[in-house]
Copies of this chain bind each other. A is one copy, B any other.
């Protein structure tokens, strides 16, 4: 990730990182304590000395799980630091088995989940052992205490490691907190989630198409459009029940909604914590939740998850970048032009417009367009384009190359009062994979990686590497997934030669931080 921000803001990012030029009225944090110290993932169990050694930008040692440690499902993990672009590894990772405790009709108040810690977890040995979980088929995820879910996440920080560290420590609790409000509903697969909490679904007059009397206090629009005829005493021919039917919501949608809202709450917490703590920068977030037989992959940023199943590749996320989100961003800039601070135009051009070109006709596209057309250049078009550049060099507001994630509340266009945050979204896209629909073998895995991996290796290359590696391992060796992750990171980092990191075919290796989880899917309905 760091390449994306650093290349654009090199030389003036210091203001944001150290507090030199923040003029937005907020506390930029440099004199505040850290919420959490910089660290490597807790499950690696590194000593302070080892953490220091891991930040060797010359040797770039690949860190893997120690043999004495195990992650749930025998998950493999490996990581490596960047080639010197930032002092610290700004990637962070987390893997835990989490219990969302049952509390009747309770829920987490908005933006304050940190006050109501409800998730129980095992920091030192996060593989769920000792939790006394009942892991029978069809009952997966239930235990007497509430709801159990497995959780893996990668966070790719930029402009500081603060947001990534905080998110790697807390996002799972926000997910637990959101799930907690629907534990009883999720456990009761026999009936659909009720529209209103506390009502019996079958006891709802709306389901029978009955005609309710006029509701006092409804607005005009509400009463007019709530019935097909004028409200008043029921007529002899009741109106059709068209407007009184309910949408049927599936259980799966509640889990998706819980993850979506957890990301929002995590982002709100970071914003709030910045009043009291030094939380630098922002981060992407890619999370995988396993609950009740299904994997839920939530992604906000440009990390990526794919499933490799019997040599087939199933993409489980899409990346959110200035290019992939161009139309959303342009639409926002068009509707709220003050966010562009009179310095940017929401229109896209193939390159900067020069003053001497005013009056000529130049290619452009607006938020409604996928194609291009010519327009006569006006003074207004001399402003810098909201979206500019291609591929990895594409930027929003000339500043950032990723459009979803957590944090970044203080990030501004250099030497201006234009905030980036309104254009960034903390909302993930959540994709679902039902583990019960397929009998998975030992080589069927889900691979999660930060963009350091995917920038240099294609899905196909990753799939071939993993499949080949696992085929040469003992299927009963629980350490095989960590070795495969190490192999992947090695292939993406490459070897140092001629003053550069090189991978196969003399291509350049990734100089970015690289983090990889390899999660075997066969353990979805049994505990290794």
- Which residues of A are in contact with B by a Cβ distance under 8 Å? 7, 10, 107, 178, 181-182, 193, 195-199, 206, 212, 215-222, 224-226, 228, 242-249, 252-261, 264, 328, 331-332, 335-336, 341-344, 349-352, 354-355, 357, 360-363, 365, 368-374, 382-384, 388-390, 393, 398, 413-416, 418, 425, 427, 429-430
Contact = CB atoms under 8 A, between A and B. Distances in A.
Given A256-B370, A368-B425, A427-B368, A247 B196 contact: no
Given A224-B414, A355-B215, A362-B197, A371 B255 contact: yes
B350 A254 contact: no
Given A198-B361, A254-B373, 11 more contacts: A197-B361, A197-B362, A198-B360, A219-B383, A220-B415, A221-B416, A225-B384, A225-B413, A253-B370, A257-B373, A335-B335
Contact of A196 (B362, B429, B430): B362
Given A217-B355, A218-B355, A382-B217, A195 B371 contact: no
A372 B257 contact: yes
A512 B373 CA distance: 37
B254 A372 contact: yes
Contacts of A371: 252-260, 430
Contacts of A352: 206, 222, 226, 243-244
A213 B244 CA distance: 67
Given A221-B344, A355-B217, A398-B225, A372 B244 contact: no
17 contacts: A107-B361, A107-B374, A181-B374, A182-B373, A193-B372, A196-B357, A196-B362, A206-B352, A217-B382, A222-B382, A224-B398, A225-B388, A255-B371, A260-B368, A261-B373, A264-B368, A335-B335
A148 B343 CA distance: 42
Given A258-B373, A361-B197, A430-B371, A219 B335 contact: no
Nearest to A228: B10
A221 B384 contact: yes
A343 B220 contact: yes
A197 B217 CA distance: 61
Nearest to A221: B343
A355 B214 CA distance: 11
A382 B254 contact: no
A208 to B, nearest CB: 13
Given A361-B197, A373-B258, A382 B218 contact: yes
A393 B228 CA distance: 13
A220 B362 CA distance: 22
Contacts of A344: 221
Contacts of A373: 178, 181-182, 254, 257-258, 260-261
A201 to B, nearest CB: 11
A182 B107 contact: no
Most buried by B among A195, A217, A224, A355: A195
Nearest to A349: B195
What 9 pairs across the A-B complex have the smallest Cβ distances? A256-B371, A257-B371, A221-B343, A225-B398, A257-B373, A247-B350, A368-B427, A197-B361, A246-B351
